[in-house]
Amino acid sequence: MRFVVIGASAAGSSAAETLRRYAPQAQIIVVSDEKITYSKPLLSYYLAGKLGEEQLFFRPPDFYERYKIERIHARAVGLRPEKSAVELSDGRKLYYDALLVATGAAPRFPEVEGIQRDGVFGLRRLEDASGILERLPTARRAIVLGGGLVGLKAAAALKERGLRVTVLVDSPHVLSQMLDESSARIFERIFEQNGVAIRTKAKPVAVLGREKLQGVQLASGEVFEGDLVVVGKGVDPNLELLEGTSIQRDYGILVDDYLRTSVENIYAAGDVAQAQDVLRGEPWINALWPCAVEQGRVAALNMLGKETRYRGSMRQNSVQFFGVPVISAGLAVLTPGPLGGRPGEHDETLEFSPAPGIYRKIFLKDDTIVGFVLVGDVPAAGLLRILMERRVNVAPVKERLLELGPDLGYLLPLIAENREQFAEREFKELVQTVSVEV
C-alpha cells in the first residue's frame, strides 16, 4: 500500500502517525511546502520570544525517521484522481492507493487598498513570524487588523516585544467568534490595562505608505500610524490543489462521516475539510488544532480500511491572554449572525463570579448545555464540554454546574443514567464501577 498525505501540520502528522501505527509495512509519503513540521498555534509564543524555533516542534525531531515516513519538501500543484496521481512543484508525480488532503488554510486578507504592501503580515507560517521579527528593530508601532484569537495573540506578543500596539476590530467587541459581549469586555479591559489599545467597530479602508508603511486608514477617515501591520481576520481553506477535479466542495472540501471526499480513495482532514458539526447539524469548518488532529487520525483509520465514524467537530477554544485563561465552547455564546450563533439558541443563562477575576457563564436550552465561558479559572472545563457534546439533560445538576471544580464523581450518577451516550471504554468502566451493589 502507498499512502500519500498532503500537508504536515496537525492533521497530516496525526494521519501519518496513525497510518504507521496500523500499517507497519506500508509506504507513507508526506508532502509539505514547509521545510519543517511545527505547531502553528505556537507562532505567537515564538513572536513574543517565549519559545525558540526548536520548541515549536510538536513531534520529536526524529519523528519521520522513527516512523519511516518519507517527507517531501515540495508543493502539491495538481491532482489527477483518474490516474491516482499527485503532481508536485518539483516535477515529480506521486501515485497513491489512498490520498489525504490536509492542505490547511491561509490567512484571509481584507480587500483594502494597499494590503499587499511590504510590512503587512499574516501569522500563519514560520516565515510570517520571522518576517515580523526582522522588522522589530526598526518598528515602534504595530497595528493589528482583527480582534480574533490570532489578532489578539499577535497583539499581546508584539506588546511584550515593546511595541505600541493598536488592535482594529470590525465587530462591536473582540473575540466575536469565541465570546459573548460581556465576557469579551473583560478581555478588552485586560488588553487596555496591559497597554494594548483596542478600537472596536473600526473598518479599515486602506494601508498607507510609500516605500515605507505608514499606517492604516479607517472608513471614518481616521488614520492610525504604524510601522507594521498584522492581519488576523480568519483563514480560508487552501483549495487550489483541487482545481480541475470533481471533488465536491462548499466553503471547504465536503467530507462524509468517514472523512471521505466525493472521489474514491481521496480523504480530507483539518482546516481544509468541511465535516459534520455536532452543534450546527451541518457541515462546517472548525479550524481548530484538536479537531484537525482527531480528523487526521480518523481519516487515516478509514484509509486503512478500519471503518471509523467521525463524531463531528464543534466550536470550542482555550487560550490565555496576559495570564488570564479563558475556555469557551458552543454556539450560544456567540452573538447571532452569519458566522455566529442562531437566534433562540438558548433559553437560560447561568452566571457566577465567585471572586474578582473569575467569571463563569453557562448557556442552556431545554436544560441542555449549549455553550459556556469560563474566565480566570478553568478547572474541569472538559466535563461541561462532554455534557454539551452528548446533549445530556442537566436539570438534576443544574444548580451546581457553576460551582468551582464540578467533579466527575458529582456527575457520575447522571452519566450512568445517560449511559448510552457515553460509549467510551472508560465511561463504561466507571458506570459499571459505581453501579456495583453496596
- Phi, psi dihedrals of residue 186, rounded to the nearest 5°: -55, -45
Binding track, positions 48-67, relative to other proteins; x by CB under 8 A: --xx---x-xxxx-------
User: Interface with other proteins includes 376 (CB under 8 A)?
Assistant: no
Binding track, positions 21-40, relative to other proteins; x by CB under 8 A: ------------------x-
User: Interface with other proteins includes 352 (CB under 8 A)?
Assistant: no
Q: Cβ 228 to other proteins, closest distance in Å?
A: 25
Q: Cβ 286 to other proteins, closest distance in Å?
A: 13
The residue among 268 and 381 lying less far from other proteins, judged by its C-beta, is: 381
Angle formed at CA 66 by CA 60 and CA 71, multiple of 5 degrees: 85
Q: Cβ 429 to other proteins, closest distance in Å?
A: 5
d(CA 30, CA 13): 8
d(CA 179, CA 378): 15
Largest CA distance in the chain: 80
**Angle between helical axes of 381-389 and 408-417 (0-180°, round to 10):** 10
Q: Cβ 244 to other proteins, closest distance in Å?
A: 34
Reduced to 3 states (helix: H, G, I; strand: E, B; else coil), residue 163 is: coil
Contact window for other proteins (CB under 8 A) among 138-146, 164-172, 344-352, 400-408: 400-408
Q: Choose which of 165, 241, 378, 394 interacts with other proteins (CB under 8 A).
A: 378
Beta bridge partner(s), residue 225: 215
Reduced to 3 states (helix: H, G, I; strand: E, B; else coil), residue 31 is: strand
Angle formed at CA 37 by CA 308 and CA 153, multiple of 5 degrees: 95
Binding track, positions 255-294, relative to other proteins; x by CB under 8 A: ----------------------------------xx--xx
- Residue 270's Cβ-count burial label (10 Å; 0-12, 13-18, 19+) is buried
d(CA 251, CA 201): 26
Residue with cell 480541475: 244
Q: Which three cell numbers stand for residue 427?
A: 465511561
Q: Cβ 311 to other proteins, closest distance in Å?
A: 11
Residue with cell 466535563: 383
The residue among 60 and 305 lying less far from other proteins, judged by its C-beta, is: 60
Buried residues in 91-106 as b, exposed as e (16+ CB within 10 A): eeebebebbbbbbbbe
Strand-pair category, 228-231 with 120-121: parallel
The count of chain residues that interact with other proteins, using the rule CB under 8 A, is 53
Q: Choose which of 248, 265, 353, 432 interacts with other proteins (CB under 8 A).
A: 432
Q: Choose which of 6, 175, 386, 402 interacts with other proteins (CB under 8 A).
A: 386
List of residues 6+ apart from 376 with CB closer than 8 A: 324, 325, 326, 355, 357, 358, 359
Q: Cβ 26 to other proteins, closest distance in Å?
A: 20
Q: Cβ 411 to other proteins, closest distance in Å?
A: 8
The residue among 61 and 172 lying less far from other proteins, judged by its C-beta, is: 61
Binding to other proteins (CB under 8 A) within 296-335 occurs at 297, 316-320, 325, 327, 329
Q: Note the residues at the interface with other proteins (CB under 8 A).
A: 14, 39, 41-42, 45, 50-51, 55, 57-60, 289-290, 293-294, 297, 316-320, 325, 327, 329, 378-383, 385-386, 397, 400, 406-410, 412-414, 424-427, 429, 432-434, 436, 438
